[in-house]
Structures are given as structure tokens and as C-alpha cells.
Structure 1
């Protein structure tokens, strides 16, 4: 029997501020589970990288743009941003201390160690919605990947991010012409409408093909100048 035949092996299980979070290994893959809901794994990373690339491509000419990445996850978005010399400050907001620990001194360091050591990178431990409401900082790009999508949140509290008040907070911390990019496991015409009603422009959705089922997507929107 090979290692891949044995099924998932739990590497760490913790009670975090928002419930249980689990890191497990399944064959060659590392997986993060929150309250029994699969969040992400290390199988690919194309969609996490596209989240960053699509946001940057939608931004007008900008010298050393700053980016806020909402959700550290398995680290693909951070690693991709840090590998791009065009970026200035890179801020990551992550509410689960366990996930930060798994990157700093655990198995996920294989993906993120170099990015975490980059002097442009700053990790903010806390809730993304609270950060957006309270921070005095502004960003050229917001790359958000904290749920499986606007209609499939990890916790009920996250629902507020995709409503008018949450999107107003996103717009407040974006520089004029800044870009909001939201990862989702499926497209949402309703969310596109909410973005437009919140005053965002150039709203569109980019698809990322997957092996089976509906493509992953990145919702893109621009704060007016």
C-alpha cells in the first residue's frame, strides 16, 4: 500500500477563535479544513496565482503598488506576490493563529518561507472585516480569498464582506483606481450586481479551468478615480 492509499493524516488540530482548524496530509498534498469545511490544498495554486495576476493586470500604471492579501491559506498568493519585484508593500491579514504558525514553523513553510522573509511582507493577525473597517492604511490592490465564494462562506460573520457595507469598507481602503479581486469556487452574477451597486466600475469575472466541475473564478472590480 502506498502513502496515497492510506487516506488523510491529521498533522495538527486546534481550536481557533472561530472554531476548529485542521492541517492534514493526504499523500503529497497538504489540506486546510475549517469547522469541517474543506478550504484549500497544495494541489495546484493556479487560481491563487491568478488572483494576484488578474488584480495587477486590471490596475493602471502604478509604481510599486501595495497589495493586501486577505487570507494566508496555503501561501500560494503570498509566494506569488513576493516573487514579483513590481510589488511594493505586501500585507497579509490572517485571523487563524494556527495557519500563521504552520507557515512560520510547520509544513507550509516549504511554500512561504522565502516570501515571509521578504522585507516587503507584513503579516497582520486578525479578522479581515475588522481590519478593513479600522485600518488607516490604503492599498492599490485587495486580493481576497477567505471563503469558497460570496455565497459559500466559512463562517456566517464573513457574509458581511460581500454586502454593501463590507464592499464600502473595501472601497475606502483602496486608492483611487485601485482593484478589488475576490476568489470564488463558482461565478456569481448576484455578486457582480452588488459590486456595481456599491459603486465599483469595470466589474468582470475571470474563469480558471479546473479538472472537474464548474471553473473557479476571480471577481474583479475597480474603485473609481
Structure 2
């Protein structure tokens, strides 16, 4: 019988608790150590993480020297998908707040996503993606956010800003005109698309399967930056 075997625990900065990496049979699982949220991700179900990168990257891949930003490394599947769909001259920055998650992807988790951190186009930033967004203007062709469980599924209140009008405005400012913002969520949020539009995006909502072509679905919002976008 399969059982969860704890491999490591990684503290989340700013008193955010801790993440735990488990082995579960042939799979790996990341859970919150305590509090609400439980299981956050696993190596068996990553279809929506793949789509989070493939949808926007296909739209901007033909641009020369494409530059994209991923908020949240997770288990490396979004990074791997972005690298798969971008050209050799692209640059993919990944902002990951938790140092332990970076080390897990360099170790036990790396093989499951094809060792994307070993790709020369990948650049890890050990920082909050919010800090990165606040410091950049018209730099990225695409931004992909997989932070927490989405606008309605926050496990840490520190992530609230990212989904606010101000946070979305910072995303718009960090994107080049015509750039694409993709936001992952475990559930739907009826108000979020209107907030994206207010921040300067033309928006569409995509439902994708978490694994295969049946079962649970996750939501990805795709926003294209309009010519004039301002911080909220």
C-alpha cells in the first residue's frame, strides 16, 4: 500500500509556515505543513501547469529574443513547458520565494520535469515575484503566475496584492505592449476577469484538465496587454 513519506520541509519566508515534500509511491507531493490548503501539487497531475505556459508562449514565440517571467517554480512543469515552446534565444526568469523549492527542483524533482533548471535559457530569482514586478517596466513578452491557489484560494494573505488591481496593474506595466499575462487558479472567480480588464488587459478564460482529458479542471485567465496600461 502506498503511503506518504516525508522527504524534506522548507520554511516559507516572512512567517509563511512551511512546505513539505513527500514521496507517494512513484510520485512526489508538496503540501502545506499546517493550516488550510493541504496538498498543493503533485507530479502526477500537471496538465494545467503545462498549459499555463504553452498557451501564452505559443502566442509570443516568434518574437525575437523573447523574455518571459514565471511566478512560482512549483515542480518545474510550467518552466519546462515554456522552454519547450520558446526559441533558442529566449530568456525565462522564474521568481521563487522558497529556497527549499529551488533545491528540490535541482534534486529529487528535477527528473520529473526533464531538468528544466539545467537549460541555459532558465534563470532563477530567489525572491517574491511581486518584488520583481514592481521593479520592471515594459520588459517581458509574457508573465505566467502560479502563486498559491488563485484569487479565491489563497493560503497566505501575503499573496493578496498579486491578484489585486494594483498587482495586475504592475503586471501590465512590466509587460511590453501586446504582452500576455496568464494566471492559474484552482477554481473560477467571477470578479477576476473584470479586474484584469480594469488593469488594462483584454481577457479570456480557459478551462483545462488537471490531468489527461477527464476529471478535475483548473482555470487559466489569459490577458493581452493593451497599448496603454497603467498601474492600479
TM-score (norm 2): 0.87
Q: What is the DSSP-based 3-state SS (H/G/I as helix, E as strand, rest coil) of the residue aligned with 1:116? A: helix
Q: How many residues align?
A: 218
Aligned to 1:23: 21
Aligned to 1:12: 8
Structure 1 residues 216, 24: closer, same or farther in 2, change over 3 A?
same
Aligned to 1:91: 93
Structure 1, unmatched stretches of 5+, are none
1:114-171 CA-to-partner distances (Å, cap 9, x unmatched) read 3212111100001111111124671100011012111111310101111111011101
Matched, 1:45 2:46: yes
Structure 1 residues 149, 16: closer, same or farther in 2, change over 3 A?
closer
Q: Retained in 2: the 8 A contact 1:94–1:100?
A: yes
- Candidates 196, 209, 215, aligned match of 1:212: 215
Q: What is the DSSP-based 3-state SS (H/G/I as helix, E as strand, rest coil) of the residue aligned with 2:206? A: strand
Q: What is the DSSP-based 3-state SS (H/G/I as helix, E as strand, rest coil) of the residue aligned with 1:123? A: strand
Q: Retained in 1: the 8 A contact 2:182–2:221?
A: yes
Q: In structure 1, how many angstroms separate the alpha carbons of the residues matched to 2:185 and 2:50?
A: 13
1:85-139 CA-to-partner distances (Å, cap 9, x unmatched) read 42600000000000001112x2112135632121111000011111111246711
1:24-43 CA-to-partner distances (Å, cap 9, x unmatched) read 01111111113433211101
Structure 1 residues 161, 85: closer, same or farther in 2, change over 3 A?
closer
Q: Retained in 1: the 8 A contact 2:47–2:209?
A: no
Q: Retained in 1: the 8 A contact 2:136–2:173?
A: no
Task: Return 107-116 or 124-133, whichever deviates more.
Answer: 107-116
Q: Retained in 1: the 8 A contact 2:141–2:176?
A: yes
Structure 2, unmatched stretches of 5+, are 228-232
TM-score (norm 1): 0.89
Aligned to 2:126: 125
Q: What is the DSSP-based 3-state SS (H/G/I as helix, E as strand, rest coil) of the residue aligned with 1:100? A: helix
